[in-house]
Structure 1
Amino acid sequence: MTRYLYIALIVIFAGVVLLFKIQNLESVTVSLLSMSVTLPTSVLVLLVYVLGMFTGGFVLGLLRTWTHKATSR
């Protein structure tokens, strides 16, 4: 029974992601210094989310290391 619940949740999540992708096909241009890139809005949101996950985890790990080293004798 639990297996079917997980399968249903995966299918619903995949549907929501697909719906988000379909509804956000307009292109946006992102510029930084002299570089610029044009990509769909949904791809930009996904890239920002993934980048936030990686950098957020890195920053938390770095802060944890610094506080541990600062409080150790």
Structure 2
Amino acid sequence: MRWFHIAIVVLFAGATLIFAIQNFQSVTMSFLGVSLRLPMAVMAVIVYLLGMATGGSLWSLLRRSFAGARL
């Protein structure tokens, strides 16, 4: 089972690397009057990291709210 998990991680890392290589053309993102021009792969990583940070914060806030409501 351990080798299966390692194989899945290697396949996912390979797919991510292929995505980054194939999507390195620059894209422009505009938000609230700020424009940012970066390669697509870099933009995807930034959006993913921001999503992880906000999603984790929301999840902990909801857990704390539900725990407080039970008391």
Task: Give yes or no for TM over 0.5.
Answer: yes
Superposition TM-score, scaled by structure 1 size:
0.74
Structure 1 residues 67 and 12, CA gap change in structure 2 (3 angstroms): closer
Structure with the greater alpha carbon radius of gyration: 1
Match of 1:51 in 2: 50
Q: What is the root-mean-square deviation of aligned Cα atoms in Å?
A: 2.3
User: In the alignment, what sits opposite 1:30?
Assistant: 29
TM-score using structure 2 length = 0.76
What is the percent sequence identity of the aligned residues?
Answer: 45
Give the distance between the partners of 1:16 and 1:67, measured in 2 at CA: 38
Q: How many residues align?
A: 71
